[in-house]
Amino acid sequence: MTSTLAIGNYNPTDRAALVDAFDAHVIAGPDEIAALDQGLREGITAVAYAGHHAFGGDQMDLLPQLKVVANYGVGYDAIDVSAANARGIKVTNTPNVLNDDVADLAIAMWLVQGREMRAAEERVRSGAWAKEGPAPLNRKLSGGTAGIMGMGRIGRDIADRLAAFKMDIHYHARSEKETPGWMYHADPVALAKAVDFMFVALVGGPETENYVSKEVIAALGTRGVVINISRGSVIDEEALLDALESGAIAGAGLDVFVGEPKVNPRFLTLENVALQPHQGSGTVQTRAAMAQLQRDNVAAQLAGTDLLTPVN
């Protein structure tokens, strides 16, 4: 009988790999656990998890022999780590393998938003360039001031890319980091006041909910731009929308949203935002590496060896 339960909407390749490697039983979401045969549930020691539905103590209690929840993704806010700790369950994620893709998309949204590339492309496609002349002038981006809200692995990779654009780099984190002379701000409002462009790279979860608050957004000022590649929950989305609609800030680039994939329709009418469908890690190579690291963590647990990337 299998000892591995895979939960999530896996693509055919990753689903087959989980079945081949572990004889995994695959279900679509955590709400299906209770309907499984009791004998199957009692034999599960490892869960391979992919998705954003809550996986908490109630679900864990249905799997009394569970030892590890291996998450597909660097963000593991859907998994109740406190509940896992209370039950002696380890949680793993897939860091590092996706840093480059996520940082690349952050820079891409910054460029698309600031250089008004969506409107400029439409000018070419519609024939307006030939009929009406060049696009309106837009904003110079290189040589400005950028802030990183959350100087973890991904935040550092974003900052390294911005350095190539000759940016003056500031950052906020729980503690000061070793950097090439970048300016540390202990207070998030102070960071926002100091920069033109703020890149949000925070870890999701209850501790960072609305961390980019109404006050932080207001502190950016009328030339300020927010780029978010972390979680929609880390920003006060209503305050952000109010600021975008009123011109209190200049714009935003967003790969994540509250309640995604449903997006607040107020975003869809705005011309000063670049919108993406939570695809920061969405390349063939990176998603394959994430799936492999998830399987490697499951394999380590089943073999009784050290987990590769534990978070608790």
- Find where tokens 């490892």 sit: 46
Facing residues of 69 across strands?
47, 91
Q: Among positive and negative, which fits the CA dihedral 280, 286, 291, 297?
A: negative
Binned at pLDDT 50, 70 and 90, residue 306 comes out as: very high
User: Is pLDDT above 90 for 275?
Assistant: yes
The answer to whether residue 312 is domain-embedded is: no
DSSP states of 181-249: SPEE-SSHHHHHHH-SEEEE-PPPSGGGTT-B-HHHHHHH-TT-EEEE-S-GGGB-HHHHHHHHHHTSS
Q: 227 and 78 in one domain?
A: no
Task: Look at the chain and report how many structural domains it folds into.
Answer: 2
pLDDT digit string, tens, across residues 57-83 = 999 999 999 999 999 999 899 999 999
- Residues with a catalytic annotation lie at 231, 260, 278
Q: 288 and 266 in one domain?
A: no
The answer to whether residue 311 is domain-embedded is: no
Q: Which CATH number covers residue 42? A: 3.40.50.720
pLDDT at residue 118 in the model: 96
Q: 293 and 268 in one domain?
A: no
Binned at pLDDT 50, 70 and 90, residue 52 comes out as: confident
pLDDT digit string, tens, across residues 26-37 = 999 999 999 999
Domain around 54: 4-96+284-303
pTM of the model: 0.91
Indicate the Cα dihedral angle 18, 24, 26, 29, nearest 10°.
-90
User: Is pLDDT above 80 for 1?
Assistant: no
User: Is pLDDT above 70 for 225?
Assistant: yes
pLDDT at residue 15 in the model: 96
pLDDT digit string, tens, across residues 157-192 = 999 999 999 999 999 999 999 999 999 999 999 999
